[in-house]
Structure formats: structure tokens, C-alpha cells
Structure 1
Amino acid sequence: MQELIGGVRAFNRFYTRIIGVLGAGMHDTPYSLTEARVLFELYGHGDLPSAELRRRLGLDAGYLSRMLAGFESGGLVTRERSASDARRQVVRLTAEGRAASKVLDEAAAGAARDLLGPLTAGDRERLLSAMDTIRRVLSPAPGAVPYVIRPPRPGDLGWIVQRHGALYAEEQGWDVTMEGYIAAIVAEYATSRDPRREACWIAEVDGVPAGSVMCVRGPDERTAQLRLLLVEPSARGMGIGSRLVEECLVFARATGHTRIVLMTVAGLTSARRIYEAAGFALDDEHEVDAYGTRVTEQWWSRTLEGKSR
């Protein structure tokens, strides 16, 4: 055990030096690591109750209160009582606070790029896999990582395009035309979406996008179409894909559709299992030249009378 303890401490010393948390401020800013984490949380999630900030970061209530008081006096945040519950204090960034947080966010991203830049693609994959393993092993409840399903925020539609292009290139070997195909779908949604009949959802894990799906207009007024279902490899096995599909079914039924269709390709086994479990049935399949290869395009559908499975 002593050898294991020594190994953990040696890694801690090495990694804190690598990410630069030993200096007076994070990323050449006046903010300590803890202060930067508080600003990051507010920057990524908007208004938050102080109790939620405390829970997310595991901070002592008095320590957090003093920190927020300092931020408030420095013009970075405002604090006010919740309109729905006077016992709760809501914290939000000011314009100056958002600017400071943006500087920190860009500096953190730059530091990550600098760390990954000199590495080969294989070394990057091994590094991120090892980091993910550490995070999951040390999580208090392995296999029960919480996630949220939310509407897209600015930048999320671009993320959908980028992640589809990157993941299908890595996992299926498809070329850049796949990314162009996704970009066209997203552009149409962004410019001509009918909010009464179309919607998009993002799955988020630990504040980071981990999945997506869209419900858009189908071939006729009574038919909706499910599009752009994606779940990040690190978030698979958590039930996110099924939950995203269920969001589509509930929305499509609530907006008056009686049928929903989707198009996929053969070989995406995990997606097929999700669609079958949600009540979809294969209607048609045929081979086409797409994405720099030959694929079997499949069309699936289900009715929307009654409850989804």
C-alpha cells in the first residue's frame, strides 16, 4: 500500500506542475484555482443558487460566501434573493465577470491545446483514455454519472456538426462529405425552424455536451423525422441515446404528429438497438454511394398512437 500511496502522490505532484496550479494565479490571472472554478461554473451554467455552487464544487459555505463577497465588491458578480424562494440566494456574473471568465476559459483551452499539441494522435488518445479512466474510477458512484437534457445554446449547433464529422470519420472511416451533409441539416434547422413543430436537444454530462438529437418536419404534415442522434463514446452506456429518442417521441406526439421516421445506415448496432427498443421498425433499405464509401441506407418508422415503449 505504501508503494501505491507514493505513486499517487508522485502523480499529483507531477500533474499539478504540468497544469500550473502552484502559482499565485491561474493562467496568469489574479484568480486562484478555486476562484477560477467558481467563475467557470457560473460562466458555463448561467445563474446558479449559491447552495448549488457549493454542492457542485464541494466548498465550505463560509469560504464560498467570502469569495462571492469579494467577487461582488470587485464587480464580477451580483447576488440576490430568488424570486420563487426568498431563502435561496442566486449568483450571476456581471458583464465584467463574463469577460473575466471568458479570459480564463480561453486560457484554459489554450493550455490544453499546448499540452496536446506536441503529442501524436495515438498518444493523445491514450492520454484522454487514461484521464477518463481516472475520473470514472474515482467518481463516488461509478456507472451513475448524472446528465441533463436541455435545449441547445449558442455554439451547440456547431458542436453537433463537428462531433458528427469527427466521430463518423474515426469510427466508420467516412470522409468529409459526411460533415457537409450534417452541416446542411443544421443550417436548415437554424434558418427555417418552425418552433411549433421542430426542436433540438443536447445531452450534457459534467457541464459538457455529450449527445444530440433533432425532431424536424417529415415528408408530410402528420409525419415527423428524427435526425442527428449522437452520443459521445465517453457517455455511452448511460441511457442517453434512449432518453434523447424518447424526447423526440414525446415532442412529436405533443405537436400533433401521428408518425415518425428516421434514416440511418446498416452497421450502427447501438443505434439500431435504441430504435428497436423505442418501437421503430425497418421499412426499407438499399445500397448507396455516400461519405466516400458504399453504405446500406435504412429507413425506419413507427406510429405515435399510444405511449412509446
Structure 2
Amino acid sequence: MAEIDLADHVAAMCRFNRFYTQRIGVLEEGLLRSPFSLTELRVLYELAHRDGPSASDLGRALGLDPGYLSRILGGFERQGLIARSPSPQDGRQSLLALTPAGRAVLEPLEDRSREAIARLLRGLTSPQQARLSEAFRTVEGLLDSAGERGASTLLRSHRPGDLGWMVQRHAVLYVRDFGWNDRFEALVAEIASQFLAGHDPRREHCWIAELDGEPVGSVMLVRQSDSVAKLRLLLVEPKARGHGIGGRLVDECIRFARLAGYSKITLWTNAVLVSARRIYETAGFRLVDARPHLDFGPQMIGETWELEL
């Protein structure tokens, strides 16, 4: 019986793959009315959104054969779309980057890709769009956890009661671990309340991370201005650390911000939060300001970080 059930699931996934690839035009000659294949566009996209990767970095990220990737990069180099520079850490490696010509080629293709997806979504109501987005996150979380982790991790949109959980866990953990006072809990409660009272789902979102069905992490992306988003309330429970959950939450914010049309993400944190700072730095954020304060009791250094999208 189990084998029959698995065969049914395989057939269902194959049907969905055929349906979705047809809808978004992946099988068309000249993807997005361009001379590039899907793989070539993925390579261009990664080069645009990574800070000086090596060819081996790209190969690992995309799961590409080194020889195949080398041929793609060689073609791009001959067309003047990419440039190489020596790695300061390892002279045997070259770092890759799009040239101005490469960016000029990619930008209209990214615009076409976003518009093609927007056309699909315009036929759905706002609740249907939210259900679809959560379904995608569910699929990603389940397959990622099956392929890479023993425990099942999942990112999902917030539900009733989740923001209350966020306030409670922030207060408990930061008092216990850092001795912060109740002014911090009041700040978290204010942020949560403002979000619930009137967030714009097209430009603002809150994610909850689950580990084996239990909430263990959170993050929020809110509008600061038309062009700037603010990342807030990143949290990962101590028992859930080491599963890459914090990085996945931040990456989800970055993806959402790009799709929503922001050009920058900003955040405020404190120097004592070493693990969070490491996550931000790995994601490409840069420290732009640091100032001492006593807002939550102990003296600490508040920091502003930014990421250009």
C-alpha cells in the first residue's frame, strides 16, 4: 500500500511540474523573450545578487556540473556580460561579477519575470494570493527539510496568536539572557500591535519558523518608506539554533522586499547580539551606524545595518 501511495504522490508532483512550467513559460524557446536558457538566467541572477562569488560558489549554490558552468561563464565572458578579478584570499581563484553590460541585459529580464508572475497573481483575490504564497513556502520548507535536515523545519505566514507568542518569547529570552528590562517588552508589543492594526500585505509580512510543528522563530518586514523596508523582531529559540533558521528567515525577508519593489532594507540591533549580527553580515548587510544607549537597562551599543537590493 505504501508503494502505491508513493506512486500517487509522484504522479501528482509530475502533474504539477507540467502545469506550472507551462504557465510560467519555462519550456518556451528564448525564456522571457531572451536568448538565454533557464540555467543561464539563473547564473546571471546569482551573479547580480551575490557579492563577488567564485565559480565554485556558484556551482554549489545552483547544483551545476563544473564543466557545464564553466562553458556558460565562458560564453558570458566572451559577450562582455561578466568580469573576473583575483580573490584577495586565494590567488588561485577568481571572483565573478556582472559588468555594466551584463546588468543592462539582466534588469529588463527581471522586470519581465516579475510582470509575468504578477499577471498570474492578478487573477486571484488577496486571500487567494496569500494562500498561494504560504503553499509555496510550505513546499519549500518540507522539501528542504527532507533533503538536508533530520528535523522538519518550515517557514509560514503568521496566524492568530503568533504575534502574542513573539512578544512573550522576546521578553522572556532577552530578560533571561541579557538582563533587559520591561521597556524592551513594551517596544516589541508596540511593534506587534502596529503590524496587526494595519499592515499592507503587499509590502509587509511576518513569518513564523516551525521545527517539527512547534514555533521556534520569527521575523517581520515592514514599510519604512516607499523605497526602504525595515527588518524587525528576528528571533530563534535557543533549542532550534544550528538548523539555519535565522538565515532562512532573513533570506525570506530579502526575497519579499525585492518582489515588493524596495531598494533597501534597514534594521536596528545591538552589538551584544552576536549571532544575529553574524546572520545579517552573511546575508550582505553592512553596519552603517553605532551608538551607545541605555534604553533597556544595561549600557549597550545600538547598531543600524543596511542592505542595498
- TM-score for both structures, normalised by structure 1: 0.52
267, 270, 277: which is aligned to 1:265?
Answer: 270
Matches within 5 A, 1:17-56: none
Q: d(CA) in 1 for partners of 2:168 and 2:278?
A: 25
Matches within 5 A, 1:279-298: 279-298=284-303
Matches within 5 A, 1:223-234: 223-234=228-239
Offset of 1:206 from its aligned partner? 1.4
Offset of 1:293 from its aligned partner? 2.1
Q: d(CA) in 2 for partners of 1:292 and 1:267?
A: 13
Percentage of identical aligned residues: 49
Contact (CA 8 Å) 1:144, 1:238: kept in 2 or not?
no
Contact (CA 8 Å) 1:199, 1:214: kept in 2 or not?
yes
- Is residue 191 from structure 1 mapped to residue 205 from structure 2 by the alignment? no
Deviations 1:72-95 (A, max 9, x none): xxxxxxxxxxxx97xxxxxxxxxx
Q: Which runs of 4+ in 1 moved over 2 A?
A: 141-144
Q: d(CA) in 2 for partners of 1:162 and 1:147?
A: 21
Contact (CA 8 Å) 1:197, 1:252: kept in 2 or not?
yes
- Is residue 249 from structure 1 mapped to residue 254 from structure 2 by the alignment? yes
- Which sections of structure 2, spanning at least 5 residues, go unmatched? 13-146
Matched to 1:150, the amino acid is R
Q: d(CA) in 2 for partners of 1:239 and 1:165?
A: 23
Report the structure number with the largest CA radius of gyration. 1
Offset of 1:144 from its aligned partner? 3.0
Contact (CA 8 Å) 1:199, 1:216: kept in 2 or not?
yes
Q: d(CA) in 2 for partners of 1:228 and 1:259?
A: 18
Q: d(CA) in 2 for partners of 1:291 and 1:159?
A: 20
Contact (CA 8 Å) 1:150, 1:201: kept in 2 or not?
yes
- TM-score for both structures, normalised by structure 2: 0.52
- Aligned CA-pair RMSD: 2.3
Q: d(CA) in 1 for partners of 2:151 and 2:273?
A: 24
Offset of 1:142 from its aligned partner? 11
Count of residues in correspondence between the two structures: 169
- Is residue 239 from structure 1 mapped to residue 244 from structure 2 by the alignment? yes
Contact (CA 8 Å) 1:151, 1:201: kept in 2 or not?
yes
- Is residue 166 from structure 1 mapped to residue 164 from structure 2 by the alignment? no
Q: d(CA) in 1 for partners of 2:152 and 2:276?
A: 21
